[in-house]
């Protein structure tokens, strides 16, 4: 993003994409597809959600 902005091009898209990928990074390598509710919750939080946090204390979904 900084490189694009340095030459006068918008870098906001790339910054936003990096943020989205960071928030979803906890799902990488998960043995099963995550529930849609979990993915949406991860996108709405400002930090990455880990697979371990999804099953912590027997919770099936974030916020359970």
In a domain? residue 53: yes
Contact 49, 61 (CB under 8 A): no
Per the model's pLDDT, the better-predicted residue between 55 and 20 turns out to be 20
- Total of domains in the chain: 1
Q: pLDDT tens digits for 18-43?
A: 888 999 999 999 999 999 999 999 98
Q: How many residues are present in the chain?
A: 64
pLDDT at 47 (0 to 100): 61
In a domain? residue 54: yes
Q: Which two tokens stand for residue 42?
A: 């991860």
Query: Is the pLDDT assigned to residue 60 strictly greater than 70?
Result: no
pLDDT at 58 (0 to 100): 45
Show the domain range for 38.
2-58
Q: Which two tokens stand for residue 9?
A: 């091009």
Per the model's pLDDT, the better-predicted residue between 57 and 38 turns out to be 38
In a domain? residue 64: no
Per the model's pLDDT, the better-predicted residue between 55 and 40 turns out to be 40
In a domain? residue 63: no
């Amino acid at each position: 993003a900084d490189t694009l902005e340095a030459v006068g091009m918008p870098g906001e898209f790339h910054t936003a994409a990096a943020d989205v990928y960071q928030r979803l990074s906890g799902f990488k390598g998960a043995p099963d597809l995550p529930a849609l509710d979990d993915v949406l919750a991860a996108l709405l939080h400002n930090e990455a959600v880990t697979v371990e946090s999804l099953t912590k204390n027997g919770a099936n979904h974030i916020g359970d």
